[in-house]
Amino acid sequence: MSDCLFCKIIAGEIPSDKVYEDENVFAFRDIHPQAPVHILVVPKTHIACAADITADNSAEVARCFEAIAKIAAQEGLNDGFRVINNCGENAGQTVFHLHFHILAGKTLGETLV
Ligand code: 5GP
Ligand code: ZN
C-alpha cells in the first residue's frame, strides 16, 4: 500500500531501527517506547488489522509469532515479555498495518492482561 507508514518502513523508504528481518517479517523498535524494550513485529504483506485475518493470510500471523520467538532469544528477553495487538478505534490502533508490540525489560504488571 503506497500510503501505508509500515509498508514504507518495510521498503526502507522511511528509516527505522531494525532488529529482525526475514522473507516474510520485519521488526523494528517503536519510535515512542512504552517499556525499556518495545519492538513492533509486522508481516511484509499488508493486512490492515486483526479483523482482516482469514484462512488465506493467517500464515503471516504464524510467521510473525515464529519471528517473535527468535527476537525474544536474540534480545535476551529471558525474564519474559508481553505481546499486544491493537485492532480498531476502541483499542487505539493508529497504524493500520497489522503489527504486534513486544514489550519487555521491566515488570509489566497484571492489569490489561
Ligand atoms: P498502534 O497504536 O497502532 O497499535 O501502534 C502503532 C505504533 O507505531 C505506536 O506505538 C507508535 O509509537 C509507533 N510508530 C508510529 N510511527 C512510527 C514511526 O515512524 N517509526 C516507528 N519506529 N514507530 C512508529
Ligand atoms: Zn502496510
Mapped onto helix, strand or coil, the DSSP state of residue 66 is: helix
Identify the nearest ligand to the CA of 9 by its number: 1
**pLDDT exceeds cutoff 90 at 86:** yes
pLDDT digits (tens, 9 = 90+) for 5-14: 999 999 999 9
Q: Binning pLDDT at 50, 70 and 90, where does residue 80 land?
A: very high
**pLDDT exceeds cutoff 90 at 93:** yes
- 73: exposed, middle or buried (Cβ count in 10 Å: 0-12, 13-18, 19+): exposed
Q: 99 an active-site residue?
A: yes
Q: Binning pLDDT at 50, 70 and 90, where does residue 1 land?
A: confident
Q: What are the φ and ψ backbone dihedral angles of 63, each rounded to 5 degrees?
A: -65, -35
Is 57 a pocket residue for ligand 1 (Cβ < 6 Å)?
Answer: no
Mapped onto helix, strand or coil, the DSSP state of residue 21 is: strand
Residue at grid coordinates 490492515: 48
Sheet strand arrangement including 18-21: 18-21, 25-29, 37-43, 100-104, 81-84
**pLDDT exceeds cutoff 90 at 24:** yes
Is 85 a pocket residue for ligand 1 (Cβ < 6 Å)?
Answer: no
